[in-house]
């Protein structure tokens, strides 16, 4: 397991983690409707009542993560590929409505 991912999992404990789960077919089918992958992910998180406030990690001069961006995970099977994009409310996501849908 990647060291940064281990640190992220530790940092995320007790926080509201929101996942957007996408399969490869959905990504292909929806890609024509959005200019960039960030536009697509922005839309996916907005359907959960959230706005992305930081896309990538901010690193210190020593290489340690100072602020966490979104985390991208991939699961492969013989049937299809699944992509999970994880964010943390208050760290890199904020509510745009009062109805935030959590699936953590």
- Residue 99 is predicted with a pLDDT of 54
Joined together, the tokens standing for residue 35 give: 């200019």
Single pTM value for the model: 0.82
pLDDT in tens, the chain (104 residues): 577 889 999 999 999 999 999 988 888 888 788 888 899 999 999 999 999 999 999 999 999 999 999 999 988 777 888 999 999 999 999 998 655 555 55
The DSSP result for 44-86, as a single string, is HHHTTTEEES--S-EE-TTS-EEE---EEEEEE-SS-EEEEEE
Cβ–Cβ < 8 Å for 37, 100: no
- Residue 55 is predicted with a pLDDT of 96
Q: Quick one: DSSP state of residue 28?
A: H
Say how far residue 78 (Cα) sits from the centre of its chain.
24
Joined together, the tokens standing for residue 39 give: 């536009």
């Amino acid at each position: 397991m990647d060291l940064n991912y281990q640190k992220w999992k530790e940092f995320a404990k007790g926080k509201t983690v929101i996942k957007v789960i996408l399969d490869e077919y959905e990504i292909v089918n929806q890609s024509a409707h959005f200019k960039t992958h960030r536009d697509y992910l922005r839309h996916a998180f907005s359907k959960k009542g959230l706005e992305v406030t930081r896309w990538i990690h901010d690193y210190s001069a020593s290489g340690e993560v100072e602020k966490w961006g979104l985390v991208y995970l991939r699961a492969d099977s013989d049937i299809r590929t699944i992509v999970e994009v994880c964010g943390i409310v208050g760290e890199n996501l904020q509510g745009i409505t009062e109805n935030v849908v959590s699936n953590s």
